[in-house]
Amino acid sequence: MAHKRNALDRSDEHYTPKILFDTLEITFGTDVCAPAGGVPWIPAINYYDMARDGLTNPWFDVVWMNPPFSNPAPWVEKFILHSNGIALCVVSKSKWFNALWNAADAIVPFPRTWKFERPDGNKKTISFQSFLFAIGKVGSDALRKMPDYKVR
């Protein structure tokens, strides 16, 4: 009998671990892709969730973006246009990935040992290599605080 995956297994809900924000030591103006209620350890003054759609609302100040893995393209496009923040995105053979790679002022691989948090409280790694992309001085300077990684 094949194992059935539940809705949580198929979910885009992978919350960035607190250790990243402790390392970056910055406060974001907006978390543009938050779950309902936001993530308590993400240091953002404001957040947009599905009800307050980050794609249709204006972004301000330095943004944090961990877009849905299932459809990052429109988020990446808006992130590049905003040009001020840090994004966490998986490696992809796509136009949006190339555009983000070329637009970024700083790029650092996301540490493979850091685990994402799930809505149910469990922690897990994801199977795809991810990178942190910064556009703008504040985000670029913050990525230089990442331990054991050279910033591109």
Q: What is the pLDDT of residues 70-109, one digit of tens each?
A: 899 999 999 999 999 999 998 888 999 999 999 999 999 9
What does 39-76 look like in DSSP terms, one character per residue?
-TTS-EEEE--STT-TTTSPP-SSEEE---TT--HHHH
- Token look-up 């994004």 returns 87
- Specify the pLDDT at position 134: 98
- Specify the pLDDT at position 147: 81
pLDDT in tens, 100-137: 999 999 999 988 776 667 666 666 666 678 899 999 99
Instruction: Please state whether the predicted TM-score (pTM) of the whole model is above 0.75.
Output: yes
CA max distance for the chain: 53
Q: What number is the average pLDDT over the span 47-51?
A: 94
- Specify the pLDDT at position 6: 39
Angstrom distance (rounded) from CA 152 to CA 9: 33
pLDDT in tens, 1-39: 343 333 334 456 778 889 899 999 999 999 999 999 999
Domains of the chain: 15-143 (3.40.50)
- Specify the pLDDT at position 100: 97
Alpha-helix runs per DSSP H in the chain = 7-10, 18-24, 73-82, 95-103, 137-143
Dihedral of CA atoms 8, 79, 89, 13 in degrees, nearest 10, equals -10
